[in-house]
Every structure is written in C-alpha cells, then in structure tokens.
Amino acid sequence: MISDTAVPVGQRPGTTMLNKVPEVTVFFWIIKILCTTVGESCADYINSTLGFGLTKTTWVFTAALVVVMAVQFRLRRYVPAVYWLAVVLISVVGTLLTDNLTDGHNVPLWMSTTLFTVLLLVVFGVWYAREGTLSIHSITTAPREAFYWLTVLTTFALGTAAGDWTLELTGWTPGPAVLLPLGLIAVVAAAWRMGLGAVLAFWLAYILTRPLGANLGDYLGSARADGGIGLGTPGTTVLFLVAIVAAVVYLTVTRLDRTERAEVRGEASG
C-alpha cells in the first residue's frame, strides 16, 4: 500500500483549511481503481451504446465536472461523497480528452502519450516551484487544491493514452492486459519499500491505476469470445458504481480515511 507521507513545506499566504484529500489507505487505492473502471465503461456506454457521440458526451460530463468541482472548492474539509464523485467525473473527462484526440482528430496514441507526459511534468514543475511540495497531505489552500485536481485530470488522460498505446503495440486480449499495469504497480510498491521517495511512488502508482482500471473494465465487459467475462458495459458500470457507493458510505460513517489535521501558515517550518 503506497502512502504519500511527505511533510508539507513552504506554506504560502492564503486561506487555510483542513486537508481536502483522504488519507492514502487501501480504501483509497480500491476506490481509485473502481472510479477508473467506471470512467472507461461509462464514457464508452454513453458515447457508443446510447449514441450520444463523442462531442456531446464530452460536453455533458465536462459540465457535470465543473458543477461538482465548484462544490468541492467551496468545502472547507474532505467530504468523501463530493471528493469521490469528482474523481469519477474526472476519470470520464480524462478518458474523453484522449478519445477526442485519437478518434476526433486522428492524433496517434504515441503523440497523445507524449503530450500528456509533457503537460504533467509542466504542472508538477509549476506546482513545486510555487508551493515547495507535491505531497497530497498538503492540500490546505485553494491554489494547492487547483494544482492537485489539474494533476489528477492530466494523469487520467495520460493513463488512458499510455494504456491504449500499449494495447495497440502488443495486441493483447483483455485478460493479459490487466497484468502489465498490475505488475508495474507491484514494482513501484517494492521500490517504495526499498526507499523510493513517497511522493514519486504515489504519483507513479496513481498514473498506473488508470490503465489497470480501464483494462479491468474491458476484461469484465468484453464478450467471452473476445477473452472477457461478458458482463457488458452497462453491467460493469453498474457493478462498480454500486461498489464505489458502498465504499464511500462506509468511509463516511467510519471516518477511516480522514486526516483531520489543520495546517496553519508557517507550521511546517516551526
């Protein structure tokens, strides 16, 4: 279980609040993967099965994301239901960003992967230059929260592009395709145990959960003749949404993933 335990530094003047993200526990990673799978399957279902089309689907989910993010930014603390709803919607929008480039503008997947990699590095660079930390345990001001959510969106788009590019290169069926990101996450976890920086390990694992969740969704939704389980896109979406709701309700009641520590200006350097 990879946990970002870096100590926040360089708090800048601004409105402080309780940490706006959950503690990184096994529940964090489980729900993250579930959200990723829903993002892939839900986007495909509405775009293709219901026939909304790529453009309309993108506008609908982007509008929903803007509304939820407005609520998220107004909150003064981490609220599981709002936070994870934002992650679900970002997973859908991140998927659609890559799909629009690939299907709508014929941008090769290697180019999309390169583009989002560069964009992610730029976001990380600006975030670190301004705040002095990339730790998710330091999301106590509006600017840091903005950097955090922009990073999350970019990782979803990057994970989609990199995952699809890998499948394009290998031609793997859904079952074996799950094993590659799973194996890479295991390598990152082992490296973290052996001393890899917590922040770097966290963000590497965060990116890799995107292709893991997407490939898992493909495996469950694809027909048996294609190497899948045969649940279909609607069945997979409903199953994972129910699991997400159950997990979020559990965390809301038990408060197991609350950091609940207020950070004031200058506290880290005191």
| 229-243 pLDDT tens trace | 888 878 888 888 999
Name the band, by pLDDT with cuts 50, 70 and 90, for residue 260: low
- pLDDT at residue 167 in the model: 81
pTM (global) more than 0.95: no
| 7-51 pLDDT tens trace | 443 444 444 556 788 988 899 999 999 988 887 777 777 877 777
Name the band, by pLDDT with cuts 50, 70 and 90, for residue 261: very low
| 194-209 pLDDT tens trace | 999 999 999 999 989 9
Cα four-point dihedral sign 138, 142, 145, 150: negative
Rounded average pLDDT over 96-115: 91
For the chain, the structural domain boundaries read 26-254
Query: Would you say residue 84 has pLDDT above 50?
Result: yes
- pLDDT at residue 170 in the model: 86
Most confident by average pLDDT, 48-57, 142-151, 226-235: 142-151
Q: How far is CA 200 from CA 104, 237, 267, in A?
A: 33, 31, 23
